[in-house]
Amino acid sequence: MAFDLEMTDELLSTTRAVRKRLDFERPVPREVINECLELAVQAPTASNSQTWRWVVVDDPDLRSKVADFYRMAMQDRSSVSEAWDGKKAEPDDQTARVLNSAGWLAENLHKVPAFVIPCFEGRPRPDAPAATLSATYGSIMPALWNFQLALRSRGLGSTLTTVHLFREKEVAELLGIPDDVLQVALLPVAYTKGTDFKRAARPPVSGITHWNGW
């Protein structure tokens, strides 16, 4: 089968972090989420371990409680980053827009019709070697991105968020997620308002690629 490169490249280059264009009014059928998850689990896993697990939250009361923890986690993150760097540089325009949009998402998160929390069954020890950490996160992040691409090709959108992990324990208790299951992200899922998205400005690859050595 020959791929339509124009369409494939469009999908790969315009799957953006969507926040303000998420449509809160249009319900997301469970079948659509299941269909995208079927594509997500075609992604690779280390040693073919297939350790991805998915928690989907579409109950309004639970979404509201998770969103409260998300907002608390945003506060936790601000205190941590202030403690890291007292003399923070002013963000550039693109970063300032992302921060503003991330704050807006936090304020409105409970309105998003569904949350998907990708998890990894197992939890690396805090002193685990880089290879183990890479195999852990590397066995879920590709599936997560497959899921986001599948959403985009069906007129839905999302943002990969990790901030709620500052409150991972509280969210685990709320949703009954076992201690040995690692949450890795939270994807707010909705149809998008319009389906045209642009390529992002990125540095030229030639400046960040090293052939045959650094």
Ligand X SMILES: Cc1cc2nc3c(=O)[nH]c(=O)nc-3n(C[C@H](O)[C@H](O)[C@H](O)COP(=O)(O)O)c2cc1C
Residues that bind ligand X (CB under 6 A): 16-17, 98, 102, 105, 159-163, 200
CB nearer to ligand X: pick between 28 and 140: 140
In whole angstroms, what separates CA 38 from the centre of its chain? Answer: 17
| Nearer to ligand X (CB atom), residue 53 or residue 77 | 77
- Least CB distance from residue 16 to ligand X, whole Å? 3
Q: How far is the CB of 212 from ligand X (least distance, A)?
A: 29
At 163, give phi and psi (nearest 5°). Answer: -60, -30
Instruction: Look up tokens 């690779």; give the residue.
Output: 44
Tell the smallest beta-carbon distance from residue 202 to ligand X (Å).
8
Helix (H, G, I), strand (E, B) or coil at 181: strand
At 71, list the tokens: 């907002």
21 vs 154, beta carbon nearer ligand X: 21
CB of 103 to ligand X, least distance (A): 8
Closer of 98 and 181 to ligand X (Cβ): 98
Assigned token pair, 206:
């030639």
CA separation (Å) from 184 to 1, 108, 118, 165, 175? 34, 21, 6, 7, 15
Rounded to 5 degrees, what angle do the CA atoms 42, 180, 119 make?
30
User: Which is nearer to ligand X, 22 or 36 (by Cβ)?
Assistant: 22
User: What is the sign of the dihedral through the CA atoms of 18, 146, 177 and 132?
Assistant: negative
Q: What is the closest distance, in whole angstroms, from the C-beta atom of residue 31 to ligand X in the complex?
A: 26
